[in-house]
Structure 1
């Protein structure tokens, strides 16, 4: 079998599986489950890089494979998956087509650009990255579920337009030449805590707890 199989890519694959399952839930009209899957994919992405870097004696091929597989999975999780979620709102046909195309296109441009620059950076230095250019695609896993959780405060007929507008704004931020500081471990833990709180919020709203 081709590929590399070790613990450094497990979380990346789990996040991808969660997103693919989430896409099926969009088709089944289980919107809350789909957003929970998006959130879970984001949580997996928070830690997959740190787990990969903890693996000693990784070969150069394994490192490059890790970069490529992470970006490919990110495209599905934080590009295609949000596009499918957004496209489900039938009341905003022209806008939902535009937002779906934009978030996938901008995600693939950003991820492709990141891959080129990251490979170059790793050839020049062994230091950890301190900042990103453009908004990391993973942010949709926090922004969109949080927006959906608060939709009860937005008129039902207005929410689809708000959601699509956020999708377009996020897409632009993916490729905007802005510097975004990379999260420290403390920042990762804060974001993880936010993710858990949003998850619990979903369970409460759906009367699971």
Structure 2
């Protein structure tokens, strides 16, 4: 009992700067999924890009925060995984469905990326990085930038957008559960990815062109 009393409460672990950033990303990812549900594909992807940006930086904020309790770190890891499932698994599924007008033929691809994303996260939570410090299988955080590139090309793709998006989403799903060895992006790669999100998100909002609601 006394050991339990010494543990940080829920409020304390949530108030941690890195965990607050993760929660912010989760909120953005949920908003993105909601926009996809009403057919606002560009806005959905823009919100999710910002959510993924939070995911990329919460770990760096965590490492820069001195004196984090073990429970706070473990809580952050679990919260991060749940947020990733929304932004990298459920959201791409909803974006694909929305782009395809929620037609029946788009459901297999949507279910595939959501389920493969969940499997990929569960595997990583147990196994972690391999001995060379690389990921086994494509991390689901890569889904949103790939989808964003396709959606940004909407003016060029026109009516082919759903088909191209379907192909990209299915490829991501397959790569999630593959044995592909993927290096962890560090150094300048982080800043390149950050710049892409910062530039692409406003472009997608402009492309949406329908106002916030």
Q: Same fold, TM exceeding 0.5?
A: yes
Q: Deviations over 1:141-194 (max 9, x none)?
A: 2110111001221241x2211111111100111121121111112110011111
Q: Deviations over 1:51-71 (max 9, x none)?
A: 112222223222222211111
The yes-or-no answer on 1:2 pairing with 2:10 is: yes
What is residue 93 of structure 1 aligned with on the other side? 104
Unaligned runs of at least 5 residues, structure 2: 1-8
Secondary structure of the 1:180 match is: strand
Give 1:130 deviation, angstroms: 3.5
Equivalent position to 1:137, from 137, 140, 158 = 140
What is residue 199 of structure 1 aligned with on the other side? 201
What root-mean-square deviation, in Å, do the aligned CA atoms of Structure 1 and Structure 2 show?
Answer: 2.3
The yes-or-no answer on 1:152 pairing with 2:155 is: yes
Give 1:199 deviation, angstroms: 2.4
Give 1:98 deviation, angstroms: 0.8
Equivalent runs, 1:66-105 vs 2, <5 Å: 66-88=76-98, 89-90=100-101, 92-94=103-105, 96-105=106-115
Equivalent position to 2:31, from 13, 18, 21 = 21
Secondary structure of the 2:57 match is: helix
The yes-or-no answer on 1:185 pairing with 2:195 is: no
What is residue 35 of structure 1 aligned with on the other side? 45
What is residue 176 of structure 1 aligned with on the other side? 178
Q: Which moved more, 1:28-37 or 1:105-114?
A: 28-37
Q: Size of the alignment, in residue pairs?
A: 199
TM-score, with normalisation over the residues of structure 2?
0.84
